[in-house]
């Protein structure tokens, strides 16, 4: 029971986490399709992550078993009356049962709606289309879709409105949005006590409408009529919550999103903001700590064949002292462990170990680093003659020292048995278990995956460098290639058309080389595309001369299959010369006023009389150019709008516009409401 409640709490906590991150970072972005998968992933991960646990083992010292004595006590048989306790109510069981009953009732309601839907369409006229089945309903309800069915009352709409609605609903059908709707309903049924799950589902449904609206807007020509169609069905609703309704609440928000500029691709980083929180959840709640008692085997094994002492990261100073004294006393081996460093967890991270045997064979190992050490074994093999190899063993690499002839006792006469090249080379490298000489490593680059261990013979100065982990050796430095700030491979670079390249920058560092390729602004535009820069027609050559940092907005229009692109450059000026009055006038021209409306959109007035509304081209506020209505009344002079205090404006929308023969959008009427 307790585990189930804990799982239930974790699932609800993750759902709340995903929803809050959507509200904070993704709600105003136009990545509608990505948002759909974000919502679905959030629900699935909320169910899965609480089931994944990791085990952390903590080693503890064994507790000695104390001796104890039992005192014999004579047994007496007495009759004891045990009072009968009245059974108490198990409120937790009652509450859980009530919760499950409510969940079942909600699921039954979903089932009833499914049955009701199929009964409803049985008696209606059905027309099979390529992608969907059209159901002509004579009841006065708004259009909706469910899986492959689209239900609509044709008598309520004109032919153009009907076409708009079918385009919209067919997108729901093709992308199988009904699965999202049902998944949201099931989660609400299971976790109905969590109020956030209802807001989560509402955001999911709203995003599905954004997807369908956005794709419909791209397919139809008369976008103004489509918005009127949205408004027309506001008053018509039906009671089947399992379907994709052509009308959802917040109709104003849907229309606003239709006119919102597409989010910049660089904003996809916002999806990654959930990852640190998920990692934190796993670290805080999904790691089980298990205590294990250390085995009482003091890393030694003294037999007729082998003497050994193993030091790991948890070996204490007392254990080291005990072992070294035992080796000295019983085997006349002097082992000194010094320069020990430990981290905050009291784990050994660095040490130096030296030994000298009774026959003057000696050796040394030195380890330095920030991470806890791997186990190190000191060993001496003893054969039937009382002799054998002696040395250190670590990470599957052995450094074995042997005694030479009796008259060769100097350090420089000691040899390394397994490292054959160390007799002639001053430095030997061991990479991935293979030996390399200094000459073999000349002009090579090693990309290290791990740490480097350095062993040095103090008397002859010979060095052994061991590269831990999987390392790679290459002759050439690694080259990193960027195409418009995106990393690409060398093969992708070879396939780039040279005609679209604007500049190539090669940066050579100490090890790595970077190639940055910037493409022309006109790359990807059709040959017949018309280009307008700040309202003036321009050529592709003029477009390519503009730096990407200079561009403020880009609007792409499709007029009967012919594309036109409108570019507005940032208003960047350098003020110099003249009197202070001239400079003050120039500064005043560049003042920016920001209008924040109740829906959260921010419009900007700049260069004195230029107005930029989100999703709309820049318009010049001049009498005769645009009509402005404030609180329902037309201003006799449009320029008087510029004198209104921006903080008092809570509504600002374009209500009428047209396209010129050149495909440029012209704003004709703006509605304003003030406090």
Rounded to the nearest 10°, the torsion over CA 272, 273, 277, 283 is 40
Mean pLDDT of the 523-537 span: 78
Rounded to the nearest 10°, the torsion over CA 111, 113, 115, 117 is -150
What's the pLDDT at 71?
38
Mean pLDDT of the 282-300 span: 63
Tens-digit pLDDT profile for residues 217-259: 888 888 888 888 877 766 555 555 666 555 444 677 777 887 7
**What HEC string does 600-627 produce?**
CCEEEEECCCEEECCCCCCEECCCCCCE
Give the integer Cα–Cα distance in Å for 463 and 441: 14
Give the integer Cα–Cα distance in Å for 227 and 298: 81
Give the integer Cα–Cα distance in Å for 394 and 353: 12
What's the pLDDT at 122?
84
Give the integer Cα–Cα distance in Å for 606 and 589: 8
Strands (E) located in 523-599 = 530-533, 536-538, 551-559, 562-569, 593-596
Q: Which of 204-208, 313-317, 373-377 has the lowest mean pLDDT?
A: 373-377
87-96, 99-108, 368-377, 403-412: which is most confident? 99-108
Q: Is the pLDDT of residue 52 over 70?
A: yes
Tell me, what DSSP letter sits at residue 193?
T
What's the pLDDT at 403?
39
- Cβ neighbours, 10 Å, residue 58: 8
Q: Which of 94-103, 154-163, 421-430, 660-669 has the lowest mean pLDDT?
A: 421-430
Give the integer Cα–Cα distance in Å for 373 and 146: 62
Structure-model confidence comparison of residues 342 and 544, the more confident one: 342
Domain ranges of the chain: 95-283, 305-393, 479-519, 530-569, 591-674
Q: Among residues 559, 555, 524, which one has the least CA distance to residue 540?
A: 524
Mean pLDDT of the 151-155 span: 87
C-alpha radius of gyration, the chain, whole number: 39
Place 451 in a pLDDT band, splitting at 50, 70 and 90. low
Place 75 in a pLDDT band, splitting at 50, 70 and 90. very low
Evaluate if pTM is beyond 0.75: no
Mean pLDDT of the 37-53 span: 94
Name 131's Cβ contacts closer than 8 Å, sequence gap at least 6. 148, 170, 173, 174
What's the pLDDT at 413?
29
Structure-model confidence comparison of residues 270 and 454, the more confident one: 270
CA distance readout (Å), 378 to 149, 298, 382, 404, 459: 76, 13, 13, 20, 21
Q: Which of 258-262, 441-445, 454-458, 629-633 has the lowest mean pLDDT?
A: 454-458
Tracing tokens 């294990």 back to the chain, one arrives at 292
Q: Among residues 480, 498, 500, which one has the least CA distance to residue 490?
A: 480
Tens-digit pLDDT profile for residues 103-149: 999 999 999 988 988 888 888 888 888 889 999 887 756 788 888 99
The percent of residues above 90 in pLDDT, for the chain, comes to: 21
What's the pLDDT at 3?
80
- Phi/psi for 286 (5° steps) reads -110, 15
Burial code (b: 16+ CB inside 10 Å, e: under 16) for 440-466 equals ebeeeebeeeebebebebeeeebebbb
When the pLDDT of each residue in the chain is averaged and rounded to a whole number, the result is 76
Place 586 in a pLDDT band, splitting at 50, 70 and 90. low
């Amino acid at each position: 029971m307790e585990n189930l409640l804990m799982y239930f709490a974790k699932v609800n906590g993750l759902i709340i986490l995903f929803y809050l991150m959507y509200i904070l970072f993704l709600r105003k972005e136009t990545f509608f399709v990505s948002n759909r998968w974000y919502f679905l992933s959030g629900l699935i991960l909320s169910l899965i992550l609480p089931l994944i646990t990791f085990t952390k083992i903590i080693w503890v010292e064994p507790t000695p078993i104390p001796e104890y004595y039992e005192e014999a006590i004579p047994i007496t048989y007495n009759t004891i009356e045990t009072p009968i306790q009245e059974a108490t109510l198990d409120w937790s069981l009652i509450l859980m049962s009530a919760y499950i009953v409510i969940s079942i009732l909600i699921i039954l309601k979903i089932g009833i709606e499914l049955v009701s839907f199929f009964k409803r369409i049985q008696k209606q006229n059905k027309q099979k289309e390529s992608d969907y089945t059209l159901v002509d309903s004579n009841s006065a309800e708004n259009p909706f879709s469910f899986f492959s069915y689209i239900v609509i009352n044709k008598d309520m709409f004109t032919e153009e409105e009907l076409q708009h609605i079918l385009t919209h609903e067919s997108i729901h059908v093709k992308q199988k949005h009904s699965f999202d709707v049902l998944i949201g309903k099931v989660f609400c049924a299971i976790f109905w006590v969590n109020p956030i799950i209802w807001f989560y589902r509402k955001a999911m449904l709203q995003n599905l409408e954004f997807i369908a609206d956005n794709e419909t807007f791209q397919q139809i020509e008369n976008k103004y009529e489509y918005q009127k169609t949205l408004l027309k069905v506001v008053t018509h609703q039906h009671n089947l919550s399992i379907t994709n309704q052509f009308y959802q609440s917040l109709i104003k928000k849907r229309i606003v999103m239709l006119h919102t500029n597409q989010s910049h691709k660089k904003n996809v980083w916002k999806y990654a903001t959930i990852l640190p929180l998920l990692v934190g959840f796993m670290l805080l709640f999904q790691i089980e700590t298990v205590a294990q008692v250390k085995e009482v085997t003091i890393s030694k094994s003294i037999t007729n064949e082998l003497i050994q002492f193993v030091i790991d990261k948890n070996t204490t100073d007392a254990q080291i002292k005990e072992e070294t004294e035992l080796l000295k006393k019983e085997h006349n081996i002097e082992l000194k462990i010094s320069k020990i460093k430990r981290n905050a967890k009291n784990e050994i991270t660095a040490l130096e170990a030296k030994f000298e045997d009774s026959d003057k064979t000696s050796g040394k190992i030195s380890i330095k680093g920030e991470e806890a050490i791997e186990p190190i074994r000191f060993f001496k093999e003893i054969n039937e003659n009382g002799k054998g190899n002696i040395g250190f063993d670590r990470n599957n690499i052995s450094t074995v020292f042997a005694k030479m002839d009796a008259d060769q006792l100097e350090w420089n006469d000691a040899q390394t048995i397994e490292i054959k090249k160390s007799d002639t080379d001053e430095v030997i490298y061991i990479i991935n278990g293979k030996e390399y000489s200094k000459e073999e490593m000349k002009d090579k680059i090693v990309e290290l995956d791990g740490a480097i261990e350095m062993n040095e013979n103090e008397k002859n100065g010979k060095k052994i460098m061991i590269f831990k982990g999987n390392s790679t050796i290459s002759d050439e430095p690694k080259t990193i290639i960027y195409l418009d700030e995106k990393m690409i491979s060398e093969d992708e670079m070879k396939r780039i058309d040279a005609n679209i390249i604007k500049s190539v920058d090669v940066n050579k560092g100490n090890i790595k080389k970077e190639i940055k390729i910037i493409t022309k602004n006109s790359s990807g535009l059709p040959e017949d595309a018309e280009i307008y820069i700040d309202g003036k027609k321009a050529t592709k050559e003029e477009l390519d001369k503009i730096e990407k940092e200079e561009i403020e907005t880009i609007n792409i229009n499709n007029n009967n299959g012919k594309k036109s692109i409108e570019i507005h450059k940032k208003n960047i000026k350098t003020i110099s010369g003249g009197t202070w009055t001239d400079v003050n006038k120039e500064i005043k021209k560049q003042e920016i006023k920001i209008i924040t409306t109740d829906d959260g959109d921010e419009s900007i007035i700049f260069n004195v009389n230029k107005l930029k509304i989100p999703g709309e081209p820049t318009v010049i506020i001049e009498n005769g150019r645009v009509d402005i209505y404030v609180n329902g009344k037309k201003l006799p002079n449009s320029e008087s709008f510029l004198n209104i205090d921006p903080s008092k404006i809570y509504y600002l929308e374009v209500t009428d516009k047209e396209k010129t023969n050149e495909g440029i959008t012209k704003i004709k009427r703006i509605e304003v409401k003030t406090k």
